């Protein structure tokens, strides 16, 4: 259980329940105020918020008013709209939610349609409520009094949702969150090439402890070498990916995770992702990938090249990146250090 996410979800759930109680009968009030109802609401809210913030990298930035201790979603007028999902009187007023959401942001993206964002969040919330055994009967007959208070959410299931959401919140409070905010300011054509690894990083770092000696060695290498590769190798499952994820979280390094099981191991994807991140981080004067990158990507796509291990990533990066393949200005190339990359693999050293 994560105390921060638990607090936020509890506050929102209590606000929604308060709006649902209204003029209901004593029996209905007892059902709504019971533990099964609150657990189901918290799980659905947690799942909906997690789906939303992981659907696009920049949504982590604009979702901040929803995820703070005084969440916008717990405000009386917003909670009243969310309650409409199970009242079946009218649809939630997403225009109102979107306007209040935009007003809470210091610098809302002018191109972002917050009514659409509110609708997406409401749809996620509705879908997740339908998936709970407590509220499933409610949607079947479109009546709140059909709530199944005997069908309780397992404590482990709710704790898992709270833990993941808590890990994402922790991630956004780290240097990784700073990188995400920088990327959010890039053009749409650049952002579309940047894969969101935040769920993977959150999963790998949520229970990370120790390994201080290793991080000291890595930092010593960075401090004494203007460039190069620090090779970290070991048996599968020993924690190489977790260490890399921790580096990204704590330092906001440009990164790409090679996850073969998910099909994330293509050379073209790697190059597009890294090039786009560099453009965003260093505010380079590009609104789309440089033409030389696109033509070279066509060459590698024809070869159907994958990136199966760290050696391939390293040689690929060295051969093309250091020769200006990414078309970076000399001021950036000359300043680059190994500390700008966190590259990981899931292979044995003997396979490299």
Mind listing the pLDDT tens digit of every residue in the chain (352 residues)? 567 888 999 999 999 999 998 766 677 778 788 788 999 999 999 999 999 998 887 888 899 999 988 999 999 999 999 999 999 999 999 999 999 999 999 889 888 999 999 999 999 999 999 999 999 999 999 999 889 878 777 778 888 888 888 888 888 888 998 888 888 888 888 888 888 888 888 888 887 777 788 888 888 888 888 777 777 777 777 788 888 889 899 988 888 888 888 888 787 888 888 888 888 888 888 888 877 665 555 544 454 444 433 333 333 333 333 333 444 444 444 444 443 444 444 443 333 2
Q: Who contacts 69 (Cβ-Cβ below 8 Å, separation ≥6)?
A: 4, 7, 8, 11
The pLDDT score that the predictor gives to residue 349 is 35
**Which letter does DSSP use for residue 208 in this model?**
-
At 195 the three-state DSSP class reads: coil
The pLDDT score that the predictor gives to residue 104 is 95
Q: Who contacts 32 (Cβ-Cβ below 8 Å, separation ≥6)?
A: 17, 20, 21, 24, 147
Spatial CA neighbour of 126 closest among 97, 85, 159: 85
DSSP 179-228: HHHHHHTS-HHHHTT----HHHHHHHHTT----HHHHHHHHHHHHH-SS-
At 343 the three-state DSSP class reads: strand
- Inter-axis angle of helices 240-251 and 175-184, nearest 10: 70
Structure tokens that stand for 194 in this block: 């940047």
The pLDDT score that the predictor gives to residue 331 is 45
**pTM to 2 decimal places:** 0.73
Give strand pairing partners of 299.
none
The pLDDT score that the predictor gives to residue 320 is 38
């Amino acid at each position: 259980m994560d105390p921060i996410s638990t607090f936020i979800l509890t506050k929102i759930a209590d606000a929604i329940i308060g709006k649902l109680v209204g003029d209901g009968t004593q029996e209905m009030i007892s059902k709504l105020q019971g533990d099964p109802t609150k657990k189901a609401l918290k799980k659905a809210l947690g799942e909906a918020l997690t789906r939303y913030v992981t659907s696009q990298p920049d949504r982590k930035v604009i979702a901040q008013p929803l995820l703070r201790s005084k969440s916008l979603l717990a405000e009386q007028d917003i909670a009243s709209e969310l309650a409409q999902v199970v009242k079946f009187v009218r649809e939630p007023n997403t225009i109102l939610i979107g306007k209040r959401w935009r007003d809470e942001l210091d610098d809302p993206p002018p191109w972002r349609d917050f009514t659409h964002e509110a609708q997406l969040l409401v749809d996620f919330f509705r879908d997740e409520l339908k998936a709970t055994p407590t509220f499933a009967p409610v949607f079947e007959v479109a009546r709140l009094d059909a709530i199944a208070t005997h069908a309780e959410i397992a404590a482990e299931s709710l704790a898992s949702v709270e833990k993941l959401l808590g890990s994402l919140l922790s991630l956004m409070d780290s240097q990784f969150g700073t990188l995400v905010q920088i990327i959010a300011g890039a053009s749409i054509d650049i952002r579309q090439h940047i894969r969101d690894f935040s769920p993977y990083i959150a999963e790998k770092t949520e229970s990370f402890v120790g390994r201080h000696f290793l991080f000291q060695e890595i930092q010593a290498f960075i401090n004494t070498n203007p460039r190069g590769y620090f090779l970290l190798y070991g048996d599968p499952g020993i924690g190489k990916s977790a260490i890399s994820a921790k580096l990204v979280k704590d330092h906001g390094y440009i990164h790409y995770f090679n996850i073969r099981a998910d099909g994330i191991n293509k050379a073209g994807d790697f190059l597009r992702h890294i090039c786009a991140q560099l453009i965003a981080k260093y505010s380079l004067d590009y609104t789309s990938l440089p033409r030389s990158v696109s033509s070279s990507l066509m060459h590698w796509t024809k070869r159907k090249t994958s990136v199966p291990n760290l050696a391939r990533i390293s040689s690929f990066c060295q051969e093309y990146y250091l020769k200006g393949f990414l078309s970076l200005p000399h001021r950036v190339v000359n300043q680059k250090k190994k500390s700008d990359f966190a590259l990981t693999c899931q292979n044995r050293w003997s396979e490299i």
